[in-house]
Structure 1
Amino acid sequence: MSEFRITEQQLLDVNAFMQRSDDVVITNCLTRTAQESKLFPIMPYLVMSMYDAYYRYPDLLRRSAATVSPEDVGHRARNATCNISKLTGWGVINFYLQGRELLIKKGLLRPEDNLEDLVFMVDWWQRFSAAYHRNGGHRYTLDAHDIAQEHDERVLQVLEADAYEADDALRASAAQFMALGTQYAFLAHCESRVGLQSSGPYNLGGRRLLHTRDFMNLSECDFSWLDGVATDIPFNNLTLAVITDGVSMEITDWASVYTTPEDIRDRIIGVGLYTSDFLTDRYIPVGMDSRRDLVDTLDQLSEVIKQATRKLYRRFAGFGFTQMVEAGIYTYFQAAADIDHMAGTYRQGDWELIDDRTRRLWPLYNEEFAYDDYVSAFATMDGFQAGQNDYYLHPVSYSLWRRGGGKTDLPAPGRSAIAIPAHVLNDHDYSLRVNPNGLADVRGSSTLPTKTGGYTFQRGRLTEHEMNRAAREFDSPLLRAPWRFVDEATVKYHYRNPEVDALYRYTQQDSRLLRDRGAALVRADIDRIRTEAGERPWSAVSEAVTTAATSAAGDP
């Protein structure tokens, strides 16, 4: 029996954190593009996934935390493309908090209920996010004004040096792959964006920026509906490194990249392609032996993705409404699955089910009610539970009102975050956990097809047992001292240290141009190395593009 009792410090910290999470959610809901689908009932599955997150995330994370710490997960997600990334990492805490709010607004939960779970979830996520966002120093991308600089210098140097200058053929192949990969990832994730993420932008001088685009869960993986459909896609995760000139961009907590101009195809000057997963600790080049090889690889991947997209449409055409909703719930709920994967404790049946407590609410959630419920909770912030005293102004909605010229009535005094009431410190009258007996209390079912395929990794396709064993045996010097504790500040002052140099050489091991170059490199060295390899530095590429554009503009 737990003896947990919340302290005043914990209460104040958790309430402050929930308000900041509220600010981030409301900002994105009110200022970013909305999603809709003619195929999937997005709003029903989106809202109900939050209930499942509230009921099951705490105990699933406790199980994995016995093996991998939140910091372990953050470091691994930063070093390789994993399904736990920017959007899904955001979702781990926010799906849980949103489920809590929705249950409170339904009168099914008190704000002071299950406080041990709440404190655990907030603590876990803050530790994870601090490690994942270590280089940027912000737990939320919004706090960095929508730039997401997760990658270490040692990784970025390889991406910059090894990218191939984009000619017309490479530019066309990269644009086609991004378009088809995005379409397929949306479909594979039930018309949602959780299979996509971006990182950056990173400064390459002049008007040049580097950013990465990750395409995740492309092949046979946790999703049973991809079994037999995505078998021919050889990689589960792919990362495209894109260098642009004359493009500005922002990347949100929802991992979407917004660019100006919106169409960047003609502004792409460099491209690289990599794969990685939670059983690797570095980015592994794909099709990077030559520019021609990269063009052919992107074209081949585009073709198999196109074929898989057709197959997947046919498979989803056989799903009924219930299966569509279940698949969507699982897609969102699976945001936290890589934590269990990393611990080597993953069981498909623990993830691909709908909790019975969520199913009791199922009859409510048609498209219309689900939409109204979501808007009420995360946009208008109305109703008794969301209401505040008459003097309250929500920081986001008031800011938008102010910037809009203040021409309408003030926004209503509501908020999304529902604080823990401080009076609990007097009597400690609250429940501790939503599942007093842990996962043994969870009951649920699924109508989705039984998973029959394997799980795809860079090392090959594995069974669940093989995958868990590989995860338990996984080890990397990047996760152990001293390399674990070499950050950007360390490199700045200690780049001559033999351990720092060895870390850089480890990262450069598969690089075509930087292998064994070490930690003392600066951009001038990368420019020189590219020149010696017969490839132009990116500054020279920009000059050539500008000259060509000026010449074309002057032609009669």
Structure 2
Amino acid sequence: MTITGDSKATFRQRYEEADDGLRFQELTYTGNFVDMDPVTDGILGDKMMRARAKSKVLERVSKEDVLREQFTIDELNDLNNYLAWNIWDVLVMRATEGVSGMIPRQEYEILAFMHEFYRWPEILRMTTDEVGAQGVMDIGATARREIGTKVNAVHDWCIGAVGFGMGRCGLLALEAIKADEYIEESNEILKFMQRVLWGKRQDGYILNSQDRYRYRCRIHEADFLEQITAQIEPLEAGSPAHQSFTQFNAAAELLAFLDHYDCRLGLGDTGPYELPDGRLLILRDLFVNEEAFHWSDVCEDEKLPHCYTLALTIDPEKMGLQEIRVNDISTTFTRPKNYIEAIVGGAVFAREKWNTPMGEVDPIKIQDLGDHLTRVQNATLKLYTKTSKMCRRDLIWNGQYVYYIDMILPHLRLAGTYDKACQDYDLWEIDQRVANYYYYDITKRGFAQETVPSKIFSGAGYLPFPEGADRRRSKYRWL
């Protein structure tokens, strides 16, 4: 795409209440609404899904609502339907990521989905018991004054969308559970998600797609943002500094992706923040060294920090910006698609460990990125080499751990319950049911390649909870 200097940005029109946004793709969604018009992506899709809700759980909710112990059946079904659409909405935007030539991603994903649904409820309940419902909300609120934190949109969204939504859907498709089972456990997962996200956003909504201004994750406090923007260096397209900044962004993003087994848990965008001069700010966390993973030793060898955070400013007029989305998997999408040449400023920061105080986060001058780039590239090569020597089984279980552990790891760390989850709840052990699925179901009858796309990614398998079902109901018998 060629960016012309005289093009005019129209993206602010998307923030008008009557505006339905652009269509980023032509597919449509049906889910549980088989007798109704299909649902689109984006702003219009959000409007359609909320209009079909039976409860108010998808509207702006109060603190009292969030502190309530359980959702009603109607609320559970509205969340189930909305998350199913939201999963489709974000997945179709990056459909080509689903297959890796080296890592069996589809296999590890479905195993992790089901493992999370089985195991997370008691661990999240224990964590809530330890810190209280308000304490869970406070965990979410920490992200408002931090960069380089995994308490971010994708991790918080994954608790409900993946652990509940995809996990329950996968088990329903496998016919391991029925629609009226595990209701209490579903409530535990979804309540934890709602509390973390409400505490982080503090605008009454929980998901970026619900934002009044649509697909924004504007969570940082104004005075904290000023500390970041004060260190942004101007960049001119085609200049050595611009090239150095964008090259580092690409290299660190690749390593963050690989360290998290080809998934987006290693990346996290917040924004867009509109600056006084009309330009847009995106804050991008790239987690290039997660110490919880044993394979990250190659990143440690290169003395890489836990996270690099990039602050990048985009000139919307320069690219004729029509719409910008920071979706619920922490990813920025724009129309037109290519915003790289419209980056007019940047800054880089390094957070050494996940709990390094903000006062000790190091800024890195763009002229000094060369050494960091070399170390990132060295770690990437070492990690590719290490990964290529692993057998298929190890690749699948490692990937499963990335999902199952990392999606709730930042919340357990801040709650101080990670060690208890390991010691008293066997967090890192594989549930026997999930191990059996690996041997007898997932790898033998094409479940990951056929059933998962047709049920989970399409939205067809997210069965509602039956009307009048008992919210206390678990699975009491294996018949």
Shorter chain as denominator, the TM-score bin is 0.7 to 0.9
- 2:437 is matched with which residue: 361, 368, 371? 361
The answer to whether residue 412 in structure 2 is matched with residue 340 in structure 1 is yes
The answer to whether residue 82 in structure 2 is matched with residue 17 in structure 1 is no
- 2:89 is matched with which residue: 17, 23, 27? 27
Cα offset, 1:262, TM superposition: 3.9
Deviations 1:218-263 (A, max 9, x none): 2251001112443323410121100121344321111111234544
Which residue is equivalent to 1:454? none
C-alpha separation in 1, matches of 2:243 and 2:380: 20
Residue identity matched to 1:187:
L
- Give % identity: 21
SS of the counterpart of 2:230? helix
Which residue is equivalent to 1:268? 343
Which residue is equivalent to 1:142? 209
C-alpha separation in 2, matches of 1:274 and 1:356: 42
C-alpha separation in 2, matches of 1:84 and 1:351: 19
Residue identity matched to 1:421:
P
Contact 2:173 2:451 in 1 (8 A): no
Alignment of 1:136-535 (within 5 A): 137-144=204-211, 145-166=214-235, 168-205=239-276, 207-216=278-287, 218-219=288-289, 221-245=291-315, 246-247=318-319, 248=321, 249-276=324-351, 278-280=354-356, 282=358, 284-288=360-364, 293-296=365-368, 298-333=369-404, 334-347=406-419, 350-363=426-439, 364-366=441-443, 368-381=446-459, 415-425=460-470, 430-431=473-474
Residue identity matched to 1:273:
V
SS of the counterpart of 1:319? coil
Residue identity matched to 2:362:
V
Which residue is equivalent to 2:35? none
Which residue is equivalent to 1:468? none
Contact 1:84 1:335 in 2 (8 A): no
The runs of 4+ residues in structure 1 deviating greater than 6 Å are 6-9
Q: Which moved more, 1:115-124 or 1:341-350?
A: 341-350
Aligned length: 387
Deviations 1:445-476 (A, max 9, x none): xxxxxxxxxxxxxxxxxxxxxxxxxxxxxxxx
Which residue is equivalent to 1:59? 122
C-alpha separation in 2, matches of 1:31 and 1:317: 28
Structure 2 vs 1, CA of residues 268 and 26 (structure 1 numbering), >3 Å: closer, same or farther? closer
C-alpha separation in 1, matches of 2:225 and 2:380: 32
C-alpha separation in 2, matches of 1:262 and 1:12: 38
Residue identity matched to 2:111:
M
SS of the counterpart of 1:48? helix
Residue identity matched to 2:139:
V
Cα offset, 1:13, TM superposition: 1.9
SS of the counterpart of 2:130? coil
Structure 2 vs 1, CA of residues 313 and 337 (structure 1 numbering), >3 Å: closer, same or farther? same
- Superposition TM-score, scaled by structure 2 size: 0.74
Structure 2 vs 1, CA of residues 142 and 110 (structure 1 numbering), >3 Å: closer, same or farther? same
Indicate the structure whose relative CO is greater, using CA pairs within 8 Å and at least 6 residues apart.
Answer: 2
Q: Which consecutive residues of structure 1, in runs of 5 or more, have no partner in the other structure?
A: 1-5, 382-414, 435-556
Which residue is equivalent to 1:131? 199
C-alpha separation in 2, matches of 1:10 and 1:173: 52
Structure 2 vs 1, CA of residues 99 and 8 (structure 1 numbering), >3 Å: closer, same or farther? closer
Cα offset, 1:179, TM superposition: 0.8
Residue identity matched to 1:33:
A
Residue identity matched to 1:160:
T
Alignment of 1:72-87 (within 5 A): 72-80=138-146, 81-87=148-154
Structure 2 vs 1, CA of residues 368 and 105 (structure 1 numbering), >3 Å: closer, same or farther? closer
Cα offset, 1:209, TM superposition: 0.8
C-alpha separation in 1, matches of 2:196 and 2:70: 23
C-alpha separation in 2, matches of 1:429 and 1:116: 5
Cα offset, 1:317, TM superposition: 1.7
Q: Specify the structure having the higher radius of gyration (Cα).
A: 1
Contact 1:174 1:271 in 2 (8 A): yes
C-alpha separation in 1, matches of 2:384 and 2:411: 30
Cα offset, 1:74, TM superposition: 0.3
Cα offset, 1:152, TM superposition: 1.7
C-alpha separation in 2, matches of 1:433 and 1:237: 44
Say what the alpha-carbon RMSD is for the aligned residues. 2.7
SS of the counterpart of 1:49? helix
Q: Which moved more, 1:354-363 or 1:269-278?
A: 269-278
The answer to whether residue 178 in structure 2 is matched with residue 103 in structure 1 is no
